[in-house]
């Protein structure tokens, strides 16, 4: 992306050893207790006063840890679904164990080949994509991908998508039966698959999907909302009432690009999802609106390239953030954001990063 600068990435040898060797403790993020039985905590929860990661301390030591829907994270930076594969693809470039949590690409009941190419095109300050949820399917994910992911230290959040309410119910049940999974992100808002978008643009449909999933598992449920709506707060209230434990937002904006020389769409699907820095102001605004509408923790995303971008989302009301498109520019982008947050806290005298959530200061007299 020519209009976005990124630093050079370096392979983290420690990350290769930690992520690929299979040595060390196996992460277990089963949550104790069911819904309504008090706060759920991870089996291997860090101490309440956990500080920065070993080897990254400084004279000013900020606590970056956050808790989202009972899931304890050593820092607030997650991988955004669909941009980080199944994590193993990134172990050559980044120490995966430094992540706050890992969110894998969307899983469906059956394998999907995705949309035909071309399906990605660069746009000013962003990217348009129509991958079409290409994935190995739930059975192959459990058999082939999950064993590796269980060996990583950060909590694992599995993103699922269905073509019907029953699909979501079955996927949630299958994921809920597996060891080593901390939560489930419900992809009710993919704009690149027929029918998928409908679940997130209608409050009643969104409620039905989340309620079906809620009836199937006690794992934290995190619906991912679409920005392609007139009133995102109404959707947020609907999923909250259905039993969501947290909310992710935003998914991509529906967009289109045309080659004026050939007079054809630049991607075969004709339309696709716009991501990258171009959508960040929209995403920050929607996080702020939803934070005022519901009392759930929010995971903010949309064009985060730097720590300062991440802080915008936190101030608007997010508890955690996800880095997506930036990882295409630099596979180490998420860890760079974590390091940037450490520097930001030191420069600003912030002892606990969680105190930034919702700390936006409105101009005097502004009642917006």
Q: Which two tokens stand for residue 62?
A: 């900020």
The region that residue 109 occupies, defined by phi over 0 for left and psi between -120 and 50 for alpha, beta otherwise, is alpha
Residue closest to 89 by CA, chosen among 138, 22, 145, 140: 145
Is residue 190 flagged as an active site residue? yes
CA 180/CA 149 separation, integer angstroms: 8
Q: Is 319 within 8 Å of 357 (Cβ atoms)?
A: yes
The per-residue DSSP string of 122-178 comes to EETTEEEE-----B--HHHIIIIIHHHHHTSSS-EEEEE--SSHHHHHHHHHHHHTS
Which of the residues 68, 190, 213, 225 is marked catalytic? 190
CA 194/CA 198 separation, integer angstroms: 9
Residue closest to 12 by CA, chosen among 63, 65, 56: 56
Contacts of 203 (CB under 8 A, 6+ apart): 234, 235, 237, 238
* Helix or strand holding residue 285 (H, E): helix 280-293
Q: Which residues are catalytic?
A: 190
């Amino acid at each position: 992306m020519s209009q976005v600068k990124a630093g050079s990435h370096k392979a983290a040898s420690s990350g290769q050893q930690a992520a690929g060797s299979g040595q060390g403790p196996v992460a277990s993020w089963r949550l104790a207790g069911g819904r309504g039985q008090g706060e759920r905590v991870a089996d291997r929860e860090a101490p309440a006063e956990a500080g920065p990661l070993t080897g990254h301390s400084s004279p000013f030591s900020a606590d970056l840890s956050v808790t989202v829907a009972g899931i304890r994270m050593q820092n607030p930076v997650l991988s955004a679904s669909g941009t980080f594969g199944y994590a193993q693809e990134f172990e050559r470039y980044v120490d995966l164990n430094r992540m706050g949590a890992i969110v894998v690409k969307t899983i469906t009941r059956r394998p999907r080949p995705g949309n035909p190419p071309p399906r990605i095109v660069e746009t000013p300050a962003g990217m348009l994509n129509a991958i079409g949820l290409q994935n190995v399917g739930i059975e192959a994910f459990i058999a082939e991908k999950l064993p590796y992911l269980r060996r990583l230290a950060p909590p694992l959040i599995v993103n699922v998508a269905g073509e019907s309410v029953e699909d979501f119910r079955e996927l949630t049940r299958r994921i809920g039966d597996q060891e080593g999974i901390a939560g489930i992100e419900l992809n009710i808002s993919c704009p690149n698959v027929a029918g998928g978008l409908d679940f997130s643009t209608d409050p009643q449909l969104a409620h039905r999907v989340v309620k079906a999933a809620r009836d199937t598992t006690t794992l934290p449920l995190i619906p991912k909302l679409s920005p392609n709506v007139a009133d995102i707060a109404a959707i947020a209230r609907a999923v909250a009432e259905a039993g969501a434990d947290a909310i992710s937002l935003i998914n991509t904006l529906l967009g289109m690009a045309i080659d004026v020389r050939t007079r054809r769409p630049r991607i075969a699907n004709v339309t696709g999802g716009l991501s990258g820095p171009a959508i960040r102001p929209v995403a920050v605004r929607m996080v702020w609106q939803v934070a005022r509408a519901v009392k759930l923790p929010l995971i903010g995303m949309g064009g985060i390239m730097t720590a300062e971008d991440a802080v915008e989302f936190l101030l608007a009301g997010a508890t955690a953030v996800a880095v997506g498109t930036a990882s295409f520019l630099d596979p180490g982008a998420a860890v760079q954001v974590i390091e940037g947050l450490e520097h930001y806290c030191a420069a600003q005298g912030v002892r606990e990063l969680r105190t930034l959530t919702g700390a936006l200061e409105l101009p005097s007299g502004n009642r917006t």
